[in-house]
Amino acid sequence: MAILAAVDDFLFRSKIRAVAKHVNAEIAFAQTPDEILAQARAAKPALVIFDLNSQKSDPIATIAALKADAALSGVRTIGFASHVHVDLIAAARKAGADQVLARSQFAGNLAEILASAT
C-alpha cells in the first residue's frame, strides 16, 4: 500500500478513494489508533493522511506514536483540519506531522498529494 488514510467522514473518504483511483494510487483506510499503527507497520506506506478532526483515530496521539516508532518515524504524514482549528493544527505540528493543511487546501491539492506518494 502506498497510502494509508485515517479519515472518518464517508463523503471525504469517497472523494479520496476516487482521486486515488484517478492517479493510480493504492490506498487503504484505517480508523482506530491500533488499526492505523498495525497497518503502517505491516505495509510501510509512503504516506499516512490524518483527518485531525477525527474522533476515532485520536490523530494527535497516533501521529506522535507513529513518529516515536523507529520503524515508522520516516513515514510521511499529512494532517488536515478546518482552518479555524488553530490549536489542533499546532498540536499536530508539535506531534510531528510533516505537513498540516487546511481542509480546503488539502482537498484542492488532493490529486498532487496522492500522486506524490506513488
Domains and CATH numbers, the chain: 3-116 (3.40.50.2300)
Tens digit of pLDDT for each residue in 81-118? 988 888 999 999 999 999 999 999 999 999 999 999 97
**Tell me, what's the pLDDT at 84?**
84
The pTM (predicted TM-score) of the whole model is 0.95
**3-class secondary-structure state, position 71:** coil
pLDDT value of position 19: 96
Predicted pLDDT of residue 118? 79
Q: Are 72 and 92 in contact (CB under 8 A)?
A: no
